[in-house]
């Protein structure tokens, strides 16, 4: 009976040691046997990668509001953050110099009209005398020329008046676009001129996300995009996602619209612009975030990150060759889930790799495998 008990216990131990599940790490089957490791045979599949770039959000029109006349701010008709319409009054500026120019122009018009009237009276008085040859035609011509000169002076005065009236109209500062008012840099009583930005108005029904790629990334990006010309490549790009600074994802998809034709010599990068709808007003000019560009990779080799380890800035894993663990350097790109890599170099379809327990391995170590 005792011998039978020992036999049952021994069989149970062997059975338990031989049973392993994928993802549970290596199992030592017995003290003499080699360790068994879970493995995966490489196959190709379709994978979606993401390229993420820091971005700055701006309104489609971010307009700096500057007064066109010098003077003191007399009234402020809006407030910071207010939504305004195109043509809506924002500020009233008291400009004595502009008022003086208007008054002077009005007086010049009145004076010119008087001169025209006088010159016309003279012509009307002299013409009958010239026709009767009481006075010479030369004298008549002189008065007619004076009349024409007076008319020209009147036209010039009226043009000056129109200019002065237009300048006077500039004392009311209006919004050039529909949008939201930014910071009010100056208040009532402030002296301002055309060099002062008194506020900004940002049109944000649609917004632009600006980001940049360095020269190498730009070349790879354009080479991989479908199309013959840059315009065709931009048109064929997939919709992009905007990830905000708090890590939330903006619900509306965007579209890359332009790529600058010149690489900035200082930064070595080219600017991209992606447009996003913003009808709900969730995005404001000046926001920061990240533009996420998806990339579909056909025939990709996908492996779990836990199958790899790093050494001197290199990513390595273990392939299985004739029941031996062999170290291999691979090039990888991280997938959006943060748990897998797409291998771009170092593996081929049909290779078998160890997917767990790599910390206990060494190059050339004999193992047994468990297929997963």
In three-state secondary structure terms, 28 is: strand
* Rounded percentage of the chain residues whose pLDDT exceeds 90: 66
Report yes or no on 261 lying in a domain: yes
| Res. 146 pLDDT band, cuts 50 70 90 | very high
| Res. 4 pLDDT band, cuts 50 70 90 | very low
Residue 327's domain is classified under what CATH number? 2.40.420.20
- The closest of 144, 213, 345 to 136, measured between CA atoms, is 144
Report yes or no on 13 lying in a domain: no
pLDDT at 30 over 80: no
Task: Please check whether residues 305 and 359 belong to one and the same domain.
Answer: yes
Task: Please check whether residues 214 and 111 belong to one and the same domain.
Answer: no
pLDDT at 194 over 70: yes
Residue 24: per-residue pLDDT: 60
Residue 219: per-residue pLDDT: 87
Cβ atoms of 187 and 73 within 8 Å: the answer is yes
Residue 248's domain is classified under what CATH number? 2.40.30.170
pLDDT digits (tens, 9 = 90+) for 293-351: 998 888 999 999 999 999 988 999 999 999 999 999 999 999 988 899 999 999 999 99
Task: Please check whether residues 282 and 339 belong to one and the same domain.
Answer: no
Task: Please check whether residues 315 and 293 belong to one and the same domain.
Answer: no
**Structural domain of 230:** 51-60+206-297
Give Cα separations from 113 to 120, 122, 159, 288 (angstroms): 11, 14, 13, 61
Report yes or no on 2 lying in a domain: no
Domain boundary among 277, 297, 317: 297
Strand duo 83-84 + 179-181: pairing: antiparallel
Task: Please check whether residues 303 and 275 belong to one and the same domain.
Answer: no
Cβ atoms of 124 and 114 within 8 Å: the answer is no
Residues 6+ positions from 341 with CB-CB distance below 8 Å: 302, 303, 304, 305, 308, 315, 332, 333, 334, 335
Which H or E run includes 225?
A: none
Residue 96's domain is classified under what CATH number? 1.10.287.470
Task: Please check whether residues 129 and 114 belong to one and the same domain.
Answer: yes
pLDDT digits (tens, 9 = 90+) for 148-192: 999 999 999 999 999 999 999 999 999 999 989 999 999 999 999
pTM for the whole structure: 0.66
Q: Which residues pair with 201 in a beta bridge?
A: 63, 181
Report yes or no on 358 lying in a domain: yes
């290199």: which residue's tokens?
A: 314
Task: Please check whether residues 332 and 222 belong to one and the same domain.
Answer: no
How many helices and strands in the chain, by DSSP H and E?
Answer: 5, 20
């Amino acid at each position: 009976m005792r011998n039978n008990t020992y036999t049952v216990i021994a069989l149970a131990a062997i059975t338990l040691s031989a049973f392993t599940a994928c993802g549970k790490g290596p199992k030592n089957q017995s003290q003499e046997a080699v360790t068994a490791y879970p493995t995966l045979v490489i196959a190709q599949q379709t994978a979606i990668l993401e390229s993420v770039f820091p971005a700055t959000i701006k309104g489609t029109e971010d307009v700096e509001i500057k007064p066109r006349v010098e003077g003191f701010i007399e009234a402020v008709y809006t407030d910071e953050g207010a939504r305004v319409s195109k043509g809506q009054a924002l500020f009233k500026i008291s400009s004595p110099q502009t008022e003086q120019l208007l008054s002077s122009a009005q007086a010049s018009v009145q004076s010119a009209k008087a001169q025209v009237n006088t010159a016309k009276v003279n012509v009307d008085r002299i013409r009958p005398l010239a026709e009767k040859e009481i006075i010479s035609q030369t004298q008549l011509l002189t008065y007619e020329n004076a009349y024409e000169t007076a008319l020209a002076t009147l036209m010039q005065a009226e043009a000056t008046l129109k200019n002065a009236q237009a300048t006077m109209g500039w004392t009311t500062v209006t919004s050039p676009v529909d949008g939201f008012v930014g910071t009010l840099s100056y208040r009532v009583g402030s002296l301002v001129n055309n060099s002062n930005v008194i506020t900004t108005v940002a049109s944000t029904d649609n917004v632009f996300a600006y980001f940049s790629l360095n020269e190498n990334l730009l070349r790879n990006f354009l080479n991989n995009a479908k199309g013959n010309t840059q315009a065709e490549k931009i048109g064929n790009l997939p919709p992009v996602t905007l990830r905000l600074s708090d890590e939330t994802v903006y619900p509306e998809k965007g579209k890359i619209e332009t790529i600058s034709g010149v690489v900035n010599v200082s930064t070595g990068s080219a600017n991209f612009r992606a447009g996003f709808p913003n009808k709900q007003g969730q995005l404001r000019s000046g926001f920061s975030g990240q533009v996420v560009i998806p990339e579909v990779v056909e025939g990709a080799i996908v492996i779990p990150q836990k199958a790899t380890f790093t050494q001197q800035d290199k990513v390595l894993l273990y392939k299985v060759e004739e029941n031996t663990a062999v170290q291999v350097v691979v090039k990888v790109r991280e997938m959006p889930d943060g748990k897998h890599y797409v291998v771009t170099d170092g593996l081929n379809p049909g290779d078998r790799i160890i997917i767990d327990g790599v910390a206990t391995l060494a190059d050339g170590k004999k193992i047994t495998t468990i297929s997963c």
